Amino acid sequence: RIVYVNGEYLPEAEARVSVFDRGFLMADGVYEVTSVLDGKLVDFAGHTQRLARSLAELGIENPMGAEEWLAVHRELVARNALTEGMVYLQVTRGNPGDRDFAFPDPAVTKPTVVLFTQSKPGLADNPAAKAGMKVISIPDIRWGRRDIKTVQLLYPSMGKMMAKAAGVDDAWLVEDGFVTEGTSNNVYIVKGGRIVTRPLSNDILHGITRAALLRYAAEAQLTVEERPFTVDEAKAADEAFFTSASAFVMPVVEIDGAKVGTGAPGPVATRLREIYLDESRKAAV
């Protein structure tokens, strides 16, 4: 595999990042994941816009403009002959040459940029979307700026392990009685034909797939209510699903052992997955 590190395309075994990099020592960095379908980038503009916002919120200089980001993504997709999968991009505050809590002088320490691809055949034609996923609910004990897409992913990883230990696919995070989001996705329920999802705030990541889904839902004349919902409400819903760049729209059929609706993927989630895949293939760059 060919990866990108600070301006160079290298075989992965030759790629190097310093042990003093603040991404490694402090989780001081942000990332994006963009899906690739038919060799093209899905929702690309949204991902570069969110990257710019995450960097600005942390005071890290954006090393590239939108056109340059696109060129690097395309070059990496081409060099790896990637047709279906994803491009991972990470920007950290860089390597100050020492460990110190205070941020280094940005005039001296430049951000570290790493990109790599992961091939995932069957991303679009995913059997999990036909079966639906099972989730458990766990407390959301993450920090208060979940709108910044940082590489600080320890608790979401622990959440995945809790799900695995419970024999299910993922965990939904709960704060003050309300579901915030999944370990790596935005969550929705459907009741009486209305789609309910938590409004944007610092409490959740502003999903790029979420933004696209809400556009497509409006175009399809589906009613969306942006408000928090509880786990009990989700268990009593007709349908549940989640969205993310790598799972697209994924039906959820069980929460904490309780069947959602009929216990099979519902018509709204199934239709939205089809619309999302059709539209995002058309809009891919």
Binding residue count for ligand PMP, defined by CB under 6 A:
13
Whether residue 172 contacts residue 255, with contact meaning beta carbons closer than 8 Å, is answered with yes
Stretches 18-26, 222-230, 242-250, 277-285: which one binds ligand PMP (CB under 6 A)? 242-250
Within residues 169-228, the interface with ligand PMP by CB under 6 A covers 181, 184-186, 205, 207-210
149 catalytic? Reply is: yes
d(CA 242, CA 187): 4
Q: Could you give the string, one character per residue 8-37, with x where binding to ligand PMP holds by CB under 6 A and - elsewhere?
A: -------------------------x----
Q: If binding is defined by CB under 6 A, does position 163 make contact with ligand PMP?
A: no
Mutual angle of helices 208-219 and 44-58, in 10-degree steps: 140
Q: Which residue in 40, 110, 120, 149 is the catalytic one?
A: 149
Say if residues 28 and 92 touch (Cβ distance below 8 Å): yes
Q: How far is the CB of 122 from ligand PMP (least distance, A)?
A: 18
Task: Work out whether 245 is an interface residue with ligand PMP (CB under 6 A).
Answer: yes
Pairing of strands 248-255, 258-259: antiparallel
Residue 96 or residue 156: which is nearer to ligand PMP going by CB? Answer: 156
Cα separation, 241 vs 135, whole angstroms: 10
Task: Name which of 207 and 228 has its Cβ closer to ligand PMP.
Answer: 207
CB of 161 to ligand PMP, least distance (A): 16
Joined tokens for residue 152: 């600080």
- Alpha carbons 124 and 126: distance in angstroms, whole number: 5
Q: Site residues (CB under 6 A) for ligand PMP?
A: 33, 181, 184-186, 205, 207-210, 243-245
- Catalytic residue IDs: 149
